[in-house]
Structure 1
Amino acid sequence: MQNVTPFIRNHQLNVIHKQANFLLKTLRSVADRKVLESVRHTAVLNVFEAFDHLDAGQKELLERMSAFEAAHDLQDYLDSLEPYLLPFPEATSQQIQKLFPKAKKLKVLELAAVDYPHTTYLRWIDIATNRLFIVYPRAGGFVGVEGRMTSTNKKGFCMFCNRHQELGFFNVKLKGSSPDNLSSLGQYVCMDDLACNKGITDLGPLEKFLASVGK
């Protein structure tokens, strides 16, 4: 059996899927071979750009995406990448609870149900308090952010995944704020936890937001 070394993170897999869909749509609508070859080349380059470093074998694996003509062959290829996924680091309920010391009755999401390979960041909404909790890996540990989540009943572009989704307004009290000097930061983000993780292709906006709230 071939030795598989995982190197693809969830957001990078999302990039691969996005480029594969772009390639498939082109194959169905364009007959010009030169145009097709250009699109194949561009799709692979866009995938490469999602990685900081790739060795020769990893590049060869990702380049295979450009060789397929049929939708079922392309899907088989995408499925074959699953063993190469780097999963979100598993956390215990105790670890997560320590990230939110002020949330005395914190109800942690069902960790056994988390699809770790397809997760960029853990998030869940406490329905009782309308609070959104986010857990993100950093430096061998985790950081946590919580804030009030208010449904807007509108669709728009999520700040984290940049996809057109049903949005909520996520309002986070900034570090160092006091009752006499309230300051907060808000962003419009997906209401759907799974959809956001499935759509995110760039860690930049999420990490920038975490930095801006002192995490």
Structure 2
Amino acid sequence: MHTQTPFIHNHQLNTIKKQANFLLKTLRSVADRNVLDTVRDTAVAKAMEAFDGLTSEQKQLLEQMGRNEEAQEIQNYLDSLEPYLVPFPEVTANQAQKLFPKAKKLKLPDLERLDYAHMTYLRWIDTATNRLYIVYRHEDRWIGVEGRITSTNKKGFCMFCNRHQELGFFNVKLKGSSPDNFSSVGQYVCMDDEACNHSMTDPSALEKFLLSVGK
């Protein structure tokens, strides 16, 4: 590939990793070449399904996954994709504060040290107040959602990433027709900010929720 134009978003990289792990498990457990060839083709096809409008060069890059034989080769391949990642847009403290105007003492993570390349959405928990803050970029506008998160001390499927994780109950208040009229909506989501982003293969459930409750 001649140019390293970023085209892989975090959730797409996670899809590729999922298929690469599937391929690796098969390589370790199956000797039949016909079965292996089928699995290779399936893994590559499923990785490509995460994308729209791939160029021939981008297709070639994804097809390379199916040619690996060893665990180290697969890891080297995944590492080689890093230059093609489209990072989550960096957020400034001023932008974050504007999204949560009611939070007078908003405690922010170290925004300059975040791993934006491996992020579908920005989230952090203020442990002093048990509040989860979410920042998402949708069609050139920022969405900010906050609510109380309560650990369930149980594992289950996160509503956002659909992976089996340690869950918390995220409760978001919605504005009603009058100042005193509040309703709320709740979802079971990951307690671990990083784990959720590293497990995300389809952002549609996250996006649908944030658009329904966000400002």
Which TM-score applies when normalising by structure 1?
Answer: 0.96
| Structure 1 position 109 matched with structure 2 position 105 | no
Q: 2:34 aligns to what?
A: 34
Q: 1:92 aligns to what?
A: 92
Cα distance in 1 between the residues matched to 2:84 and 2:214: 33
Cα distance in 2 between the residues matched to 1:185 and 1:90: 28
Q: Could you say what secondary structure the match of 2:182 adopts?
A: coil
Q: Deviations over 1:63-110 (max 9, x none)?
A: 000001100011101000000000110110000100011111111111
**Cα distance, 1:175 vs structure 2:** 3.5
Maintained 8 Å contact 2:155/2:165: yes
Query: Which structure 2 residues correspond to residues 56-67 of structure 1 after superposition, within 5 A?
Result: 56-67=56-67
Q: 1:106 to 1:10 in 2, by over 3 A?
A: same
Maintained 8 Å contact 1:123/1:132: yes
**Cα distance, 1:179 vs structure 2:** 5.5
Q: Deviations over 1:92-137 (max 9, x none)?
A: 0000100011111111111022001001100001111110000001
Q: 1:108 to 1:211 in 2, by over 3 A?
A: same
Letter matched to residue 35 of structure 1 = V
Q: Deviations over 1:34-71 (max 9, x none)?
A: 11111111111111111122111000000000001100
Maintained 8 Å contact 1:121/1:197: yes
| Structure 1 position 44 matched with structure 2 position 51 | no
Maintained 8 Å contact 1:7/1:86: yes
Cα distance in 1 between the residues matched to 2:121 and 2:81: 20
**Cα distance, 1:178 vs structure 2:** 4.7
Where in structure 1 are there 5+ consecutive unaligned residues? Answer: none
**Greater CA drift, 143-152 or 2-11:** 2-11
Letter matched to residue 13 of structure 1 = L
CA RMSD of aligned residues (A): 1.4
Count of residue correspondences: 215
Which TM-score applies when normalising by structure 2?
Answer: 0.96
Q: Deviations over 1:139-158 (max 9, x none)?
A: 22311000000010111111
| Structure 1 position 150 matched with structure 2 position 150 | yes
Maintained 8 Å contact 2:145/2:214: no
| Structure 1 position 122 matched with structure 2 position 150 | no
Letter matched to residue 49 of structure 1 = E
**Cα distance, 1:163 vs structure 2:** 0.9
Maintained 8 Å contact 1:175/1:214: no
Runs of 4+ off more than 3 Å: 175-180
